[in-house]
Amino acid sequence: MAEKPDDTGPVGPSNNADAYWRANLLLVACLLMVWFIVSFVCGILAVDYLNQFRLFGFKLGFWFSQQGSIYLFVLLIFIYVWQMNRLDKRFGVDEEE
Amino acid sequence: MSAQLLTYLFVGLSFGLYIGIAIWSRSTTTNDFYVAGSHVHPLANGAATAADWMSAASFLSMAGIIAFEGADGARYLMGWTGGYVLLALLLAPYLRKFSKFTVPDFVGDRYYSQTARLVAVVCVIFISFTYVAGQMRGVGIVFSRFLEVDINTGVLVGMAIVFFYAVLGGMKGITYTQVAQYCVLIFAYLVPAIFISLTLTGNPLPMLGFGSTMNDGSGVYLLDRLDGLNAELGMSAFTDGNKSTVDMFFITAALMAGTAGLPHVIVRFFTVPKVRDARISAGYALVFIALLYTTAPAVAAFARVNIINNVNDMSYEQAPGWFTKWEASGLIAWLDKNGDGRVQYRGGNALDPATPEFATGLGQSGERLLSNEASGNDNELYIDRDIIVLAHPEIARLPNWVIALVAAGGLAAALSTAAGLLLVMSTSISHDLMKKCLMPNISERQELLFARIAAAVAVSVAGLLGIYPPGFVAQVVAFAFGLAAASFFPVILLGIFSTRMNKEAAIAGMVTGLTFTFSYIVYFKFISPETNHAGHWLFGISPEGIGTLGMLLNFVVALVVMRVTPPPPREVQELVQRIRVPRATM
């Protein structure tokens, strides 16, 4: 998703809003997939399998469920903020100063 | 200085600070009172959200629960942080763009229905009350243990403080006191954790420390040592869970969706100036929360090691001061089953019934006598989970000022959450009920007066619930999340992501989700508690996790009803289009 303001071209406001919304949904879907994998898959469903591996003194599944998932949640929100601010600019729907 | 004198000093200083901030930032308009004039900096809102969110349960109870449950405690760690991802990506920015004052505001306007608005008001008040009673109780416990005053006096002091800044300051006063309370509580949580991490592992960061090797020269990892100790004493390994996978999955999901649907958290995102600020503010909030939540499991593991090392096979006559003090307040109990005068700490419940009932008089070694029967195992010790965080600095023999700091931190956590909850209750009554339903013609001044009166009444009722805790409160608090997940979360989510979503579908969905979840909980907790175990549960889901199924039912019913009923009016569809874009003029 490179930043190319010119590519959006002369589209009507409703087309533009639809395209913005689709891009938004795609971004959210990708991020929520990661959210599901790090918490529900790594921390719960596959925890016993991952526990045979180790990360220093932690069993890996235990680490995901009590530490790793939380770090990644924080990261996901910041990626979302960063990408959404770019989308806002690209589609010209960002808030006026 | 003695720990008690220092505690008075720290608690007094922090209370003085909160009152000073409240006077400096008092509210004069409804806009100030409800959403702090929407002028709060996103960073400040992040800290306020974190303090609002982290209650006495997060500060005092969570590490204790993990210390006893080990891996199963992860449902709280993931559930109460993962919800912020849902909140940030799916709700916060759109609700900010909607830019009203409350959650019932959104439900009422989006579903063009006073009925829906009223249902939302009732849910907000129910969820908030069950939650706030526990906070006041937490205030009482800290006071009674550390300042050695009566629990009820403690509750009254807490009420007076909250009354002062919530009634006077409204959201504006609460926001800036919460920022101060966050600083107090996180400092109070991290300092002892860092001290103990250094002592046990030599690593100053507790999050890494509990994955490091022991500091005793053995080269053994702390968690391996802990699993070994647990096995020796006949307990299950700390890093293995006992709950079924399906139950863990459903409970975690219910806590996540519930977190995202809690009204006192959502309303915080109305206080920032812009949509962009609402997004980043959720990120800051989670950073601030994660600081405590990643430390909690470390504190739990350290506490477990320290308790086993300090208490097991200790002669009661040489018991340290903290042991007898907590025994005096009834939160530790010891039954000398084999009569050797030593404390044997093993797996299983020591007592039957499991919580101690004290008789009058002292036993052979000077311990308080119990009227409980001995249970069938060798364990002689009962420790209440809620005391772990408060007792740990004493167990680890940290200096007195750290002990005093923890008391001030616990109070900050309980008071900040109580204030946030009281505010959403008062707003729901003055704004959603009075202004929007019953008396639409009242002036702003009158509305503000109603808000202050409602806040005052709510503080008093919350205090009464703290002094005379009804037995069911503790049971119900955990379910506030299930109910929020099964009612608000789907309705708000569909209200934003589907333009076709209408009034009929929203009401049908909410009623189904609430009725199902509520009945399931009431059945297993109150009507037939003796059947409350996995064999009788639907699909093996405990009442704690049933909110997830209630939420799925809500979604299914709403989506079906939506297809067979007429679409919402045009202006509502336009409202949905409008909240999807940040810019005002689209």
Give ipTM to 2 decimals: 0.89
How does DSSP classify residue B366?
S
**A27: closest chain B residue by CA:** B89
Chain A residues inside the 8 Å CB shell of B498:
none
The residue of chain A nearest to residue B253, with distances taken between CA atoms, is A40
Mutate which: B53, B66, B78, B221, vs A, most A CBs within 10 A: B78
With CB atoms and an 8 Å threshold, state whether A77 touches B282: yes
Tell me what the mean pLDDT of segment B391-407 comes to.
87
CA B229 to chain centre: 31
Give pLDDT, residue B474: 55
Inside any domain, residue B233: yes
Interface of A with B (CB under 8 A): 13, 17, 20-21, 24, 28, 31-32, 35, 39-40, 43-45, 47, 51, 55-59, 62-63, 65-67, 69-71, 73-74, 76-78, 80-81, 84-85, 88, 92-96
The per-residue pLDDT for range B208-263, each reduced to its tens digit, is 888 888 888 788 888 888 888 888 887 888 888 778 888 889 999 999 999 888 88
Q: Which of residues 23-82 of B touch A (CB under 8 A)?
A: 66, 71, 73-74, 77-78, 81-82
Q: Quick check: A47 and B241 CB within 8 A?
A: yes
State the residue range of the domain holding B106: 3-306+396-579
| pLDDT recorded at residue A7 | 44
Helix (H, G, I), strand (E, B) or coil at B131: helix
- Residue in B88, B290, B297 closest to A80 by CB: B88
Question: Does residue B446 lie in a domain region?
Answer: yes
Tally of CA atoms within 13 A in the half-sphere of B279 that contains its CB: 23
| Mean pLDDT, all residues of chain B | 85
Q: Could you tell me which residues come within 8 angstroms of residue B381 by beta carbon, excluding any fewer than 6 positions away?
A: B311, B332, B333, B334, B343, B344, B345, B350
| B-chain residues near A40 (CB < 8 A) | 249, 252-253
In this predicted structure, the answer to whether residue B555 has a pLDDT above a threshold of 90 is: yes
Res. B435: pLDDT tops 80: no
Q: Are B252 and A88 inside 8 Å of each other by CB?
A: no
Q: In this structure, are residues B408 and B14 in contact, taking their beta carbons and an 8 Å threshold?
A: yes
How big is the CA angle at B387 (ends B386 and B392), to the nearest 5 degrees? 135
* Number of domains, chain B: 1
CA B107-A36-A68 angle, 5° bins: 115
For B:205-224, CB contacts with A below 8 A are 207, 210-213, 221-224
For residue B280, give the chain A residue with the closest CA: A81
End-to-end distance of chain B based on CA atoms, in angstroms?
64
Query: What average pLDDT does range B426-455 have in this prediction?
Result: 80
Residue of B38, B51, B503 whose CA lies nearest to B275: B38
DSSP states of B233-301: TT---TTS--S-HHHHHHHHHHHHHHHHH-HHHHGGGGSSSSHHHHHHHHHHHHHHHHHHHHHHHHHHH
CB B350 within 8 A of CB B367: no
* Res B384 pLDDT > 90: no
Instruction: Assess whether pLDDT exceeds 70 at residue B471.
Output: no
The whole-number pLDDT of residue B89 equals 93
Beta pairing class for A58-59 and A54-55: antiparallel
Q: Is the pLDDT of residue B472 over 60?
A: no
Contacts of B586 in chain A (CB under 8 A): 13, 17, 93
Report angle CA B138, B139, B141 to the nearest 5 degrees: 65
Contact at CB, B223 and A59, closer than 8 angstroms: yes
Instruction: Return the residue of B nearest to A31 by Cα.
Output: B89
Both structure tokens of B506: 């929203």
pLDDT of residue A8: 43
B512 inside domain: yes
Q: What is the spatial distance between Cα B268 and Cα B255, in angstroms, rounded to a whole number? A: 19
Most confident by average pLDDT, B127-141, B148-162, B381-395, B473-487: B381-395
CB contact under 8 A, B71 and A32: no
Give the integer Cα–Cα distance in Å for B57 and B413. Answer: 9
B244 touches chain A (CB under 8 A): no
Beta carbons of B294 and A70 less than 8 Å apart: yes
Question: Exposed, middle or buried, B337 (CB in 10 Å: 0-12/13-18/19+)?
Answer: middle
Residue B325 has pLDDT above 60, yes or no: yes
pLDDT value for B331? 82
Strand partners, B315: B342
Contact B78 A59 (CB under 8 A): no
Mind giving me the DSSP string for A34-91?
HHHIIIIIIIIITHHHHTTSEETTEEHHHHIIIIIHHHHHHHHHHHHHHHHHHHHHHT
pLDDT (0 to 100) of residue B469: 67
> Are the C-beta atoms of B355 and B33 separated by less than 8 Å?
no
In this prediction, residue A1 carries a pLDDT of 41
Within a domain: B560: yes
Q: Is B22 exposed, middle or buried (0-12, 13-18, 19+ CB in 10 A)?
A: buried
Q: Which of A63, A70, A92 sits opposite B81 (nearest CB)?
A: A70
Query: Who among A40, A56, A80 is closest to B279 (CB)?
Result: A80
pLDDT at B167 over 80: no
**pLDDT at residue B160 greater than cutoff 90:** no
| DSSP state letter for B213 | B
Please indicate whether, in this complex, the C-beta atoms of A94 and B82 are within 8 angstroms of each other: no
pLDDT > 50? residue B560:
yes
The answer to whether B391 and B322 have CB atoms below 8 angstroms apart is yes
Q: In B384-504, at which residue ranges do the beta strands (DSSP E only) sit?
A: none
Question: Under an 8 A CB cutoff, do A74 and B239 touch?
Answer: no
At residue B417 the predicted structure's pLDDT band, cuts being 50, 70 and 90, is: confident
Chain A interface mutation, best of B99, B208, B226, B239, highest count of A Cβ atoms under 10 Å: B239
Kindly determine whether residue B581 and residue A20, on different chains, have CB atoms separated by under 8 Å. Answer: yes
The pLDDT, as a whole number, for residue A13 is: 54
What local confidence, expressed as pLDDT, does residue B561 receive?
94
Residue B317 included in any domain: no
How much is the pLDDT for A72?
95
In a domain, B103, yes or no: yes
| Residue B188 included in any domain | yes
Distance from CA of B213 to the nearest CA of A (A): 7
Average of per-residue pLDDT across B379-384: 87
Is B327 among the domain residues? Answer: no
**pLDDT at B586 exceeding the cut of 50:** no
Stated as kind and residue range, the H or E segment containing B415 is helix B400-427
Q: Which residue of A has its CA nearest to B224?
A: A57
Best mutation target among B577, B581, B585, B586 (most A Cβ atoms within 10 Å) is B581
Span A26-71, pLDDT tens digits: 999 999 999 999 999 998 888 888 888 888 888 898 899 999 999 9
Residue B7 binned pLDDT confidence (cut-offs 50, 70, 90): confident
Sign of CA dihedral B505, B510, B511, B512: positive
Nearest Cα neighbor of B11 from B134, B156, B157 is B157
CATH code for the domain of B451: 1.20.1730.10
In sequence order, the 6+-apart residues with CB closer than 8 A to the CB of B585 are none
Residue B174: pLDDT over 90: no
Please, which residues bridge with residue B121 across strands? none
Instruction: Say how many CA atoms lie within 13 Å of B556 toward its Cβ.
Output: 8
